[in-house]
Structure 1
Amino acid sequence: MELRQIEAFLAVAEELHFGRAATRLHMAQSPLSQTIKKLEKDLGAELFERNTRAVSLTTAGLSLLPHARKILEELDLARRAATAETGTVYGRLAIGFSGALNHKTLPPLTRALRNRYPGLDLTLHGGLLTQDALGHLRNGSLDLSFIGLPVDAPSLATRRIAIEPLGATVPVDHPLAGRQSIALNELAEDGFVTMRQAQGSTLREAIFSACTIAGFRTRVAQEVTDPYTALSLVAGGVGVSLMPDSVAGIMPAGTVFIPLSGHAPQLESGIAWNPALTSPALTLALEVAEEVLPTPA
C-alpha cells in the first residue's frame, strides 16, 4: 500500500465523487480511477460501489477509512515531530459534543487546551447525541466526546462531569409560564418535543423516565435532532420539553424555563473515550479535563 493510494482513497471516500476527488488532488480522473483499482487489487477487496449516479463505500471501504485517516495523521505528526522544538507538544484531537447541552462544559476544556498546548490541532464536531458519539469513538473518528450518562459501552471509558436537575421549558404564552415552579404532572396533557428515538439520546430517555415516574405517559408532539431545535419549537408553541437547568441562560425568545418542584429528575453527563485508541494528545486532554471539569461529588 503506497501513500499516494491512501491519499487517493481518502479523497474519493470523503468526496464520494471521482471528479471532485481528482480536482482536490490536482490530477485527472482517469489516473485516479486506476490508482483506486490498483489499491483494490492489492487488498483483494472492492472499496467502492460505483454506478452512473453515485459512489459509495463498501464494507471493506468503511473498515479501511479510519485506518487510512490515522496513517496520514501519523505521517503529519512525524513530520512535525522532526522539526518541533524540544518540549513542544503536538498532535490532533477530535472532540464531539451535542451543542446546547455542552455550552458550559466544552468551552473550559477547549480554552485550556488551546492556551496550554497551542501545537494541538483541535477539531470540534457538534450536533452529536450520545449513541452517535459512541459509534465515532469506537471507529476512531473521534478521540473524546461529551455524552449523556449512563451508557452501555463496555469497550469505552467514561467519567461523569456534571449532574443537573431537569426543568420544564414552555412557550411564553403557556398557562403555567408565570409560575416560579411546577410539578411535572401538571404537563401531563401537553405534547413534548423530544430527540429522535433512533439517535439514542439520553435526554430523551430522561424525559420519558421522568414522566413515567410522575404518573403519565409522554405524548410526543415532535421529534428533532438536537436540543436547541427542540427549544426553538417550544418557542413556536409546538409543545413543551424538559431540559437541564444549565440551558436557562440561553433560552430562545418566546420560551420560559420553569424549575420543577419536589425531587426534580436529573441528567448526568460526562466525557467518553476509547482506551484502545489512546494517543499522547488524548492523554493530555484527559489530564486537563480532570482539572477543569472535575467529577462532581
Structure 2
Amino acid sequence: MELRHLAAFVAVAEELHFGRAAVRLHMAQSPLSRQIRLLERDLGVELFDRGTRAVALTPEGAAFLEPARHALTAADRARHAAAAARSGHLGRVSVGFAGATGNASLPVLTRAVRSALPGVDLDLRGQTYSGRALDEVVDGTLDLGFIALPAQQGVATRVVRRERLLVALPDTHPLAGRDEVALADLAGEPLVTFPDGTGSAVREAGLRACRDAGIAPRIVQEAPDAYTVLTLVGAEVGVAIMVDSSRRIRTDHAVLRPISGPAPVLPIALAWRPDDPSPALREVLRVAEEVLPTPIDADPV
C-alpha cells in the first residue's frame, strides 16, 4: 500500500468523480484509475461502485476513507517532523549548570528557546559545581554547559557573563561597615569555602585572588553550596569569597561587600563540543548569541 495510492483514493472518494479527482491531483485520469485498481487489489476489496452515471463508495470504501485520511495526515506530520529536525527546530538539548554559572543566564536562555524553538526540548540538569558540568560536556553526557573559565581543551566556549568576586562577612565583623573591603585586610581571617576536589570554580577563583593579594588562605570549614557558606559566615565561623549572583540569596546575619580596587572576575561561558552534529544544539546556540551577548570586556582578568 503506497501513500500515493491512498491520496488517489481520498481524492476520488471526496470528489466522487475520476475526472475532477485527476485535475485535483494534477494527473491524467488513466493513471489515477490504475492506482485505484492497484489499491483495491492490495486490499482485496472494491472501494468504488463505478456506475455509468456516477461513482459511489462501496461499504468497504466508506469504512476505509477515514483511516486513509488519518494515514495521509500522519505521513505529512512525519515529513514535517523530519524537516524540522534537520533544520534544528525539533530535538532535545541537554544543558548543565551550577550555582553562579547558571543563576542569572539560564532563565534568560530557557525562556528565549521556548519562545523561538518550541519544538526543542531543553533537558536541564543542575550540577553541584561548574567543573562537573564541564566534564560532562567533554564526555558527551551533556550537549551544552554553563561553566566557569578557564576550560580544558576540546570544547568550544563563549563568554556570556562576568561574575565579580565579593567578600562575605558576618554583620558583626569590624569590616562589615565599610563600603569596600581590600583582600589584604582579610589576612589571617578564617575562611569558609566550597570543598576541595569538587570542581568549584568559585573556590578556585577565591583562593587564587587571595594568593594574588599576598594572603595565605586559612580554610576553617567547607560547605557544599552558597546558601550554607553564607549561613556559616553569618554564624561567625569565618569570612568567604563569593560572586555577584550570591546577592540573590537572602541572608540575615551576613553581608556582601565589593572588593576594593580592580575586582577579580570569574568569566562564565557556554561550553559545547565543536564536533557535535546536532542541528538543535546549533539553533540553541544561535538563540543564546542573541539573548546572551558576549560582554564587551569578556577577556579574563
Question: Does TM, normalized by the shorter one, top 0.5?
Answer: yes
Q: Deviations over 1:200-255 (max 9, x none)?
A: 22221211111112121111122233333322322332221112223324343322
Partner of 1:134: 134
CA 1:106–1:267: 2 relative to 1, 3 Å: same
Q: Deviations over 1:118-137 (max 9, x none)?
A: 22211211134232112211
CA 1:182–1:143: 2 relative to 1, 3 Å: same
Partner of 1:259: 258
Deviation, 1:85, is 9.1
Partner of 2:228: 229
Superposition map of 1:266-285 within 5 A: 266-285=265-284
Distance in 2, matches of 1:228 and 1:159, equals: 28
Where structure 2 has 5 or more consecutive residues not aligned to the other structure, the ranges are: 1-76, 297-301
Partner of 2:119: 119
Deviation, 1:266, is 1.4
The answer to whether the 8 A contact 1:101-1:227 is kept is: no
Specify the SS of the correspondent of 1:205: helix
The answer to whether the 8 A contact 1:165-1:267 is kept is: yes
Distance in 2, matches of 1:86 and 1:265, equals: 47
Partner of 1:203: 202
Partner of 1:40: none
Specify the SS of the correspondent of 1:193: strand
Q: Deviations over 1:81-133 (max 9, x none)?
A: 55739758211111111124422111100110111122221121113423211
The answer to whether the 8 A contact 2:160-2:293 is kept is: yes
Aligned Cα root-mean-square deviation (Å) = 2.1
Q: Deviations over 1:259-281 (max 9, x none)?
A: 11112211111110112333112
The answer to whether the 8 A contact 1:190-1:240 is kept is: yes
Superposition map of 1:280-295 within 5 A: 280-295=279-294
The answer to whether the 8 A contact 1:98-1:226 is kept is: no
AA paired with 2:160?
Answer: I
Partner of 1:214: 213
Distance in 1, matches of 2:127 and 2:225, equals: 6
1:241 aligns with 2:237: no
Superposition map of 1:141-180 within 5 A: 141-151=141-151, 153-180=152-179
The answer to whether the 8 A contact 2:194-2:203 is kept is: yes
Distance in 2, matches of 1:293 and 1:273, equals: 15
Distance in 2, matches of 1:293 and 1:123, equals: 19
For the pair shown, the structure with the greater C-alpha radius of gyration is: 2
Q: Deviations over 1:13-67 (max 9, x none)?
A: xxxxxxxxxxxxxxxxxxxxxxxxxxxxxxxxxxxxxxxxxxxxxxxxxxxxxxx
Specify the SS of the correspondent of 1:225: coil
- Which TM-score applies when normalising by structure 1? 0.67
Distance in 2, matches of 1:82 and 1:195, equals: 51
Number of residue equivalences: 217
Distance in 2, matches of 1:236 and 1:225, equals: 16
Distance in 1, matches of 2:78 and 2:93, equals: 16
Deviation, 1:178, is 1.8
